[in-house]
Chain A
Amino acid sequence: MADVALTDTIATADLAARAQTTARAGRGDSRFHFLTWAAAATVLLIFMGVIGSLVIGSAPAIKAFGFSFLTSSVWDPTSNEFGGLPSIVGTLVTSTLAMILAVPIGIGVAIFLTELCPRPLRRPIGIAIELLAGIPSIIYGIWGLFVFAPWFQEHVQQPIIDATDGIPVIGSLFGGAPYGIGVFTAGLILSIMILPFISAVTRDVFETVPTMLKEAAYGLGCTTWEVMWRVVLPYARTGVVGGAMLALGRALGETMAVTFVIGNAHKIHLSLFAPGTTISATIANEFTEATSVLYTSSLIFMGLILFFITFIVLACAQLMLRALERQAGIK
């Protein structure tokens, strides 16, 4: 009987301690929950801060120029007249060039890595290609300016200019003097920079293609190329397009590499070999030199336009890749 009473008192004390511990744990629990929530909210806040600060900063330029900022190609700091057209066109042209080169090559690399490469070499070669994405943008810039541009000028530009001289359209597209630097060089270097993004995403989606599908196609007598082109690629379409959009988002906003090699001219030339500029290059070059409020504000306005364009591209990329993930989750 005494024993039971003793156990009871222990149990009560124990229960009380336990209740305390539970309460403390509960408080700690909700505090931790709140902390993680606050961190997540911070991410949202940063995003809204970026948009808000860009809108506020570009207000003077929007008020002064309105929509004509998008269509005017005047860039004259001394008379305080600014138009963003050359930069916007430059951004779009260099990114398009980069995509034209990098998409097929990126898909080729992915095909090589998933189907053709001997297994022991797969990881090292995959990593080597991905290292291209790890090299900082400024390194591409200094290399492009001092090593690539002179080489390109002598061994590629001059022959192309000579060969296309006199041909209508193509001749003017590649006309002019070989500067080495220019829109084409910028597009080419951009394509090397975004290549790993395309090949990495493409390889990942290629690996989700069911082996059964491929084997069935091989069983019907398809060649490797036919399996890739007619079975794997259609199956992985959404992922490939998503990866390409992600890379496009990068190309549009790429700053330092382009700033070094594009030549920074606020003019729109027909020739791809001529110097030009992009939104990010203009901002990087001129922001600290901008003396008037309207000058600074015009540059921030260009930043806003750039953010808007990349936002749309990246949002599309994300929605496509997300849909793919969900699809893969169901299967």
Chain B
Amino acid sequence: MIVSRALYTRRRLYNTLFIALSVGAAVFGLIWLAFILSALLSEGFAALSPSLFTMSTPPPGQPGGLANAILGSVLMSVIAVVLGTPIGLFAGTYLAEYGKHTKFAFVVRFVNDILLSAPSIVTGLFIYEIVVLPMGHFSAWAGTLSLMVIVIPVVVRTTENMLILVPNGLREAATALGAPTSFVIRSVTWAAAKAGIVTGVLLAVARISGETAPLLFTALNNNFLSTKLNAPMASLPAVIFQYALSPYDDWHKLAWAGALLVTATVLTLSIIARLLETKRN
């Protein structure tokens, strides 16, 4: 047998080279993660203090905190999720249980997946046109609605995916016992897919707690602690945006503290979501 030593060496060489490159690619990704998280932890922790949670955003040069922004973010996110989840859950249920292969379901699915990845700043423009302009002023409601528009597609997608995984045998068994379709869905299918649906809602919360672009011209910002949904409201991301781009050092510090809070929230939520997912499998 004639073995071309040169060819063999070359193939070995290529193999080693490309394997090294793909290991390098993974390391590259992990390095960025470490780079970002370490900067965030060192800068963020340096800026953490109890007054963050008790005082509102200050004028430059004065002591202050992020209380108004934290409250605003929590308030708007919670309302957006409370309003958006039922719509997403029902629409996802329609796609998985009723619509299935109909043309209408196909179109909704297609449009939903577009909305899922569409630029969030466009959502802000949309809500600006239909809420802010008619009302004549910026408001927390507008911010909430724009977050809701982001929540819905996320919940629709995960709900449908999770319901499809529920074995048909379960549905058939319940139907054979005489349960009406809606009853089967509510007490059998939903129950079986519960962990997955909760995961979806958590991911939706994680997604909107860092969203900035749609809030900039809907909820705007507010330097005072406010619970009025009809008035502009501060949010962590909007404050980070404003303060980070300012020339003041103490504002930068607050921006870093806010960034740490936002990231900690988002990453905790996504890790809990993942753990739920693993438990289900």
**A146–B244 touching, CB < 8 Å:** yes
Q: Is B33 part of the contact surface with A, judged by Cβ < 8 Å?
A: yes
**B211–A307 touching, CB < 8 Å:** no
**A36–B14 touching, CB < 8 Å:** no
Q: Is A84 part of the contact surface with B, judged by Cβ < 8 Å?
A: no
- The stretch among B60-68, B112-120, B165-173 that forms the contact with chain A is B112-120
Contact A255 B30, CB 8 Å, known A142-B259, A284-B216:
no
Fill in one digit per residue for A52-63: 1 if any B CB lies within 8 Å of its CB, else 0.
011011000000
Q: How far is the CA of A25 from the CA of B187 in the complex (A)?
A: 14
The residue of chain B having its C-beta at the shortest distance from the C-beta of A254 within the complex is B119
**B91–A40 touching, CB < 8 Å:** yes
Contact A223 B129, CB 8 Å, known A43-B111, A112-B23, A314-B113:
no
> Which of B1-55 touch A at CB < 8 Å?
11-12, 14-15, 17-19, 21-26, 28-30, 32-33, 35-36, 39-40, 43
**B213–A284 touching, CB < 8 Å:** yes
> Which of B220-250 touch A at CB < 8 Å?
220, 237, 240-241, 244-245
The residue of chain A having its C-beta at the shortest distance from the C-beta of B220 within the complex is A288
Q: How many A-B residue pairs have CB under 8 A?
A: 272
Q: How far is the CA of A47 from the CA of B156 in the complex (A)?
A: 14
Q: How far is the CA of A112 from the CA of B97 in the complex (A)?
A: 38
Contact A128 B30, CB 8 Å, known A46-B152, A225-B18, A255-B119:
yes
Residues of B within 8 A of A208 (CB): none
**A136–B263 touching, CB < 8 Å:** yes
Contact A47 B33, CB 8 Å, known A53-B129, A129-B26, A143-B40:
no
Q: Is B95 part of the contact surface with A, judged by Cβ < 8 Å?
A: yes
Q: How far is the CA of A303 from the CA of B128 in the complex (A)?
A: 12
In whole Å, how far is B260's beta carbon from the nearest beta carbon of chain A?
A: 9
Residues of B within 8 A of A107 (CB): 22, 25
Q: Is B210 part of the contact surface with A, judged by Cβ < 8 Å?
A: yes
Residues of A within 8 A of B237 (CB): 136, 138, 256
8 Å CB contact of A127 from B180, B217, B274: B274
In whole Å, how far is A233's beta carbon from the nearest beta carbon of chain B?
A: 11
**A125–B26 touching, CB < 8 Å:** yes
Q: Is A158 part of the contact surface with B, judged by Cβ < 8 Å?
A: no
Chain A interface residues toward B at CB < 8 A: 25-26, 28-29, 31-33, 35-44, 46-47, 49-50, 53-54, 56-57, 104-109, 111-113, 116-117, 125, 127-129, 131-132, 134-143, 145-148, 192, 195-196, 199, 223-226, 228-229, 246, 249-250, 252-256, 259-260, 280, 283-284, 287-288, 299-300, 303, 306-307, 310-311, 314-315, 318
Chain B interface residues toward A at CB < 8 A: 11-12, 14-15, 17-19, 21-26, 28-30, 32-33, 35-36, 39-40, 43, 86-91, 93-95, 97-99, 104-105, 107-108, 110-115, 117-123, 125-126, 128-130, 149, 152-153, 156, 180-183, 185-186, 206, 209-213, 216-217, 220, 237, 240-241, 244-245, 252, 255-256, 259, 262-263, 266-267, 270-271, 274
Which 10 A-B pairs have CB atoms at the shortest separation, nearest pair first? Answer: A136-B210, A253-B119, A108-B25, A39-B90, A32-B182, A36-B94, A53-B129, A223-B15, A39-B91, A108-B22
